[in-house]
Amino acid sequence: MGIKGMKYEEFKDNESLELLRESGTNVLLTTIDDVINWGRKSSLWPLTFATSCCGIEMMMTGAPRHDFSRFGMEVYRASPRQADVIVVAGTIVNKMAPVLKRLYDQMSEPKYVVAMGACAISGGPFFLNSYSVIKGVEHVIPVDVYVPGCPPRPEALLYGMLQLQRMIETETIHSRRERVAKNNSK
């Protein structure tokens, strides 16, 4: 079922749907968009990037029981150049932030960011009192999907990744360009 066949109230990201309605009226381009988006969402390759505890749960998501590869994401890439999505799994501290930014910059467009765990969202257990933890990874790089938990269950990460796939489904050439421009201006 295509994204437009879905009931309006069932869709979680209605802003993107509105954007799609506004810009995606062209018959030819929407078909191309559909094909591109289908390819893109079915082969999201994450970067092997884990700083702490959440990384273990990310590994467990790739392990037999939860099996990332059902959704085309099992190919963990060690090089940012080959990765589509960076799952920020774990705490980011001041010393690590420039490295994270550089990794993000090295990834090729289109690139997506999933903030996994309380630490990546807001600093989590280290929000108060800690002098070295970045209070949320969105201060460093733009985030697309937040997955709460400390650590999030593998199911939660899977759900987050499926949301990301949905988000990609709604993209058009136009909206993607806008997104890149917005992220680069940050």
Partner 1 sequence: MEENIKEIVVGEQEDYVINMGPQHPSTHGVLRLVVTLKGEIVKNVEPHIGYIHRGIEKMCESITYPQIIHLTDRMDYLSASINNESVCLAVEKALEVDIPDRIKVIRTIFSELTRIQSHQLFWASYGMDMGGQTCFFYGLRDRERILDIFEETTGGRMLISYNCPGGLMYDIHPNFQKRVKDFIKYFRKVLPEYDAILTGNVIFTSRTKGIGHLSLEDAISYGVTGPSGRASGFSCDVRKHEPYSAYDRVKFNEVLYTEGDTFHRYLARIEEMRESMNIIEQLIDNIPEGPYAVKMKPIIKLPEGEYFQRVETSRGELDTFVISDGNKNPYRIKFRTPCFVNLGVLNHITRDFKIADLIAIAGSLDLVIPDIDR
Contact footprint for partner 1 (CB under 8 A): 48-53, 55-57, 59-60, 63-65, 76, 78, 80, 90-91, 93, 95-96, 99, 103, 125-126, 129-133, 150-151, 153
Residue (44 or 147) nearer to ligand SF4, CB: 147
Task: Answer whether 77's CB lies under 8 Å from 45's CB.
Answer: yes
Residue 34 or 138: the one with the smaller Cβ distance to ligand SF4 is 138
| Residue number with CB closer to partner 1 (24 or 136) | 136
Beta-carbon contacts of 161 under 8 Å, excluding residues fewer than 6 positions away, are: 44, 68, 71, 73, 85, 114, 145
Which of residues 20 and 58 has its CB atom nearest to ligand SF4 in the complex? 58
Backbone angles phi, psi at 34, to 5 degrees: -55, -45
Positive or negative: CA dihedral 79, 72, 157, 7: positive
Burial class (CB in 10 A: 0-12, 13-18, 19+), 36: middle
d(C-alpha 33, C-alpha 42), whole Å: 14
* Among 78-86, 100-108, 112-120, 164-172, the segment contacting ligand SF4 (CB under 6 A): 112-120
Q: Is 39 in the site for ligand SF4 (CB under 6 A)?
A: no
Min separation Cβ 127 and partner 1, Å:
10
Q: Which does 93 bind (CB under 5 to 8 A by kind): ligand SF4, partner 1, none?
A: partner 1
Residues 121-150 that bind ligand SF4 (CB under 6 A): 124-125, 150
